[in-house]
Amino acid sequence: MRITDTSDLWWKTAIFYNLNVETFMDWNDDGIGDLEGLGQRLDYLEELGVTCLWLAPFYPSPRQDNGYDISDYFGVNERNGHLGDFVEMVRTANDRGMRVIVDLVVNHTSIEHPWFQEARSSKTNRYRDYYNWRDELPADGRANMFPDKEDGVWTWDEQAGQYYEHSFYGHQPDLNTANPAVREEIAKVIGFWLQLGIDGFRVDAVPFLIEAEGRNEHDYLRTIRSYVGRRSGSGMMLGEVNLPYEEQKAYFGESGNELTMQFDFVANQHLYLALARQDASPLAEVLAQRPELATANQWANFVRNHDELTLDQLSADERGEVFAAFAPEESMRIHGRGIIRRLPPMLGNDPRSIKMVYSLMFSLPGAPVLYYGEEIGMAEHSDLRGRSAVRTPMQWSAEANGGFSQAAAGDLPLPVVEGGGSPEHVNVSAQQHDPDSLLHSIRGLIAAYKKSPEIGWGTFEILQQDNPCVLVHSLTTPTGQLVALHNFADDARKVSIDLPDGDDVTHVVDLLGTEPLGYSGGPLEVNLLGYGYRWLRIVRAGEKRIL
């Protein structure tokens, strides 16, 4: 993609907010969230500081997998509204300074998609080769992504008289993306949504898109990126690639011309290992191994997402440590590799550690991604099975159904959280009026992030010091330096830091405003409370910018 100006690289310093229309706000009170309801809550998201909405699938779907089983790529699920509502929502978001990206789910379709229904009807049907078929089961069949739910990746279809391939659930047959006709269809999908005003895509399950059937076609990924660039000069692609760094780097492309951004699953998983140990070392070690990126690329940092907290890049022993600390009961785990809980209950609802984690996320080099409800500390629904536990309705107030809908509770897509995390105790309305709330803290972190271009653009360095429980990192640009400190232990620590080129430092400004910090030369001495955190701007002689 041709970049004409750095302002085209808006994703470098964006604040992403992921939501599911289905569970965000119900405006017509039928029990199901809708695009009109989302439009009515854009003022809230603008006030929060969000600059880019990421919408989970809202397309027509039988919704056996949270909408990721798509039966029509060119529409809106009638439960959520229609295309006119979508266009109006995008326009309203743009008016409030927010961009919009949507999920691109083209590794598979729903079994109910017309393509698959046609494909299974006859071996001579033109859609047959849109999917992958076999007469016999392969001797060396690969494992399914959900080994506790599916027995392999091939399922017999009586009507077709063959086995069809599915990397995920059996109701999600894999598309044959090696087929030029399928690639043409995918191009039409991309062009359609870009024409409606979106700013890019979160690309689902990228390795499965280009590596199925022994293929490893990064040229196809480059083609998609180029097409997005041609159709939208500032369009981007945020990819889901849960692989080790050395493999993940290939998905950015040799010159940064494949995925624009990728989620940092490696750092995310080692963050939880560090939290379990109250030792920042596991996270510091992997951050030091992060590959350098081309100017147009960026990392997406996150704490939780709409799926399980996957731990598959930890060793078995490390995974056991995290399970023991944060998912001691088998019902809290899924697929043998993940946790189906939100952050606050995992951390014992300790506001100190919760706020520290989000401070860390916003200060790490890259762009932050919030999952809806994180800003108020929503909990999971412990009685719901699987991933649904973290997909409950947004909690707007202490009213019935958390203010999400006035419909009967039984008409909601999922029940609201119960117990200590219920809307009675955790909701937007109450936290808006509480200056000590998590919501106010997140707003403050977003405001500080927006004043700190070093986070999106700066050179990253871990600053060594003697406390393994404290992570200290620096981000430097030609016009400024930011140093962030985070204490993973529950007791106070004193930190001494030798600043690079420290002789010309004239001021140290606390960007989060917790207390003044004097500096008179030599090592920088900082006191951190238990789970304490600081963002410090280092101001040198001749620099005018201190805030």
Could you report the per-residue pLDDT of 344-394, keeping only the tens digit for each? 999 999 999 999 999 999 999 999 999 999 999 999 999 999 999 999 999
The answer to whether residues 463 and 414 belong to one domain is no
**Span 194-217, pLDDT tens digits:** 999 999 999 999 999 997 666 678
Secondary structure (3-state) at 406 = coil
The per-residue pLDDT for 140 is 77
pLDDT, tens digit (0-9, with 9 covering 90-100), for 131-181: 999 999 988 778 899 998 898 999 999 999 999 999 999 999 999 999 999
Rounded distance, CA 301 to CA 339, Å? 18
Residue 123 pLDDT grade (very low, low, confident, very high; cuts 50, 70, 90): very high
What is the separation, in whole angstroms, between the first and last Cα of the chain?
A: 34
Q: What percent of the chain has pLDDT over 90?
A: 88
Same domain membership, residue 187 and residue 128? no
* CB contact at 8 A, 301 and 15: no
Q: Indicate left, alpha or beta for 458 from its phi (over 0: left) and psi (-120 to 50: alpha).
A: beta
Amino acid at 82: H
Residue 502's pLDDT band (cuts 50, 70, 90): low
Q: What is the mean pLDDT of residues 105-114?
A: 98
Round to whole Å and give the CA distance between 142 and 158: 22
Q: What is the DSSP letter of 290?
A: P
Between 112 and 524, the more confident residue is: 112
Provide the pLDDT for residue 503. 67
| CATH number for position 400 | 3.20.20.80
The DSSP annotation for 301-358 comes to EES--SS-EE-TTS-HHHHHHHHHHH--SGGGEETTTEE---HHHHTTT-HHHHHHHH
Q: Are 33 and 392 a contacting pair, CB within 8 Å? A: no
Provide DSSP, 224-255: HHHHHHHH-TT-EEEE---S-HHHHGGGG-TT
Token pair 């022994």 is found at 214
Q: Which residue from 103, 151, 157 is spatially nearest to 131, judged by alpha carbons? A: 157
172 within a domain of the structure (yes/no): no
Q: How far is Cα 54 from Cα 261, in angstroms, rounded to an integer?
A: 13
Is there a domain that residue 36 lies in? yes
Q: Average pLDDT, stretch 283-303?
A: 97
Residues 96 and 119 in one domain: no
Query: What pLDDT, on the 0 to 100 scale, is given for residue 515?
Result: 66
Contact 343, 421 (CB under 8 A): no
Among 407, 424, 449, the domain-final residue is 449
Residue 260 lies in a domain: yes
Q: In what order do the strands lie in the sheet with 309-310?
A: 309-310, 338-339, 333-334
* Residue ending a domain, choose from 449, 483, 511: 449
Q: Is 276 part of a structural domain of the chain?
A: yes
**Which residues does residue 508 pair with via DSSP β-bridges, in sequence order?**
538
Listed residues 433, 449, 465: the one ending a domain: 449
What pLDDT shows up at residue 474?
A: 97
Domain of 299, in residue numbers? 6-107+177-449
547 lies in some domain: no
> Is the pLDDT assigned to residue 3 strictly greater than 50?
no
CA 115 – CA 510 distance, rounded (Å) = 57
Shared domain check, 231 and 355: yes
**Residue 216: what pLDDT?**
73
Structure-token pair, residue 30: 């039928």
Q: Which of 222, 223, 232, 233 is nearest to 258 (CA)?
A: 222
Same structural domain for residues 207 and 103? yes
Q: Give the single-character DSSP code of 108.
A: B
Same domain, yes or no: 398 and 489: no
Whether residue 291 is contained in a domain is answered as: yes
CATH of the domain at 151: 3.90.400.10
Verify that 374 and 327 share a domain, yes or no.
yes
Is residue 208 classed as helix, strand or coil in its secondary structure?
helix
Query: Nearest 5°: phi and psi at 95?
Result: -60, -25
- Say yes or no: 150 and 293 in one domain: no
- Tens of pLDDT, residue by residue over 415-431, are 999 999 999 999 999 99
The CATH number covering residue 482 comes to 2.60.40.1180
What are the tens digits of pLDDT across the range 303-332? 999 999 999 999 999 999 999 999 999 999
At residue 465, does pLDDT exceed 60? yes
Euclidean distance between CA atoms 198 and 202, whole angstroms: 11
- Alpha helix stretches (DSSP H) within 339-424: 343-346, 351-363
Backbone dihedral angles phi then psi of residue 255, each to the nearest 5 degrees: -115, 20
> Could you tell me the pTM of the whole model?
0.97
- Total domains in the chain come to 3
Same domain, 189 and 83: yes
C-alpha span between 261 and 181 (Å, rounded): 27
Three-state DSSP class for 388? helix
The closest of 70, 73, 80 to 27, measured between CA atoms, is: 80
The DSSP bridge pattern shows strands 338-339 and 309-310 to be: antiparallel
Distance CA 270, CA 287 (A): 9
Shared domain for 445 and 462, answered yes or no, is: no
Amino acid 7: pLDDT: 64
Per the domain annotation, does 545 fall within a domain?
A: no
The answer to whether residues 471 and 485 touch, using CB atoms and an 8 Å cutoff, is: yes
User: How high is the pLDDT of residue 514?
Assistant: 63
Q: Is residue 461 part of a domain?
A: yes
Based on the fold, state whether residues 197 and 50 are members of the same structural domain: yes
Long-range contacts of 29-32 (CB under 8 A, 24+ apart): 29/405, 29/406, 29/407, 30/79, 30/405, 30/407, 30/411, 31/405, 31/407, 31/408, 31/410, 31/411, 31/412, 31/413, 32/79, 32/80, 32/405, 32/411, 32/412, 32/413
Pairing of strands 367-371, 298-302: parallel
The model's pLDDT over 240-279, given as tens digits with 9 standing for 90+, comes to 999 999 999 999 999 999 999 999 999 999 999 999 999 9
pLDDT, position 4? 43
- 181 lies in the same domain as 133: no
Question: Residue 410: pLDDT above 90?
Answer: yes
Active centre residues (catalytic): 204, 240
- Model confidence at 545, pLDDT cuts 50, 70, 90, reads low
Are the CB atoms for 133 and 88 separated by under 8 Å? no
How confident is the model over 485-502, as a mean pLDDT? 88
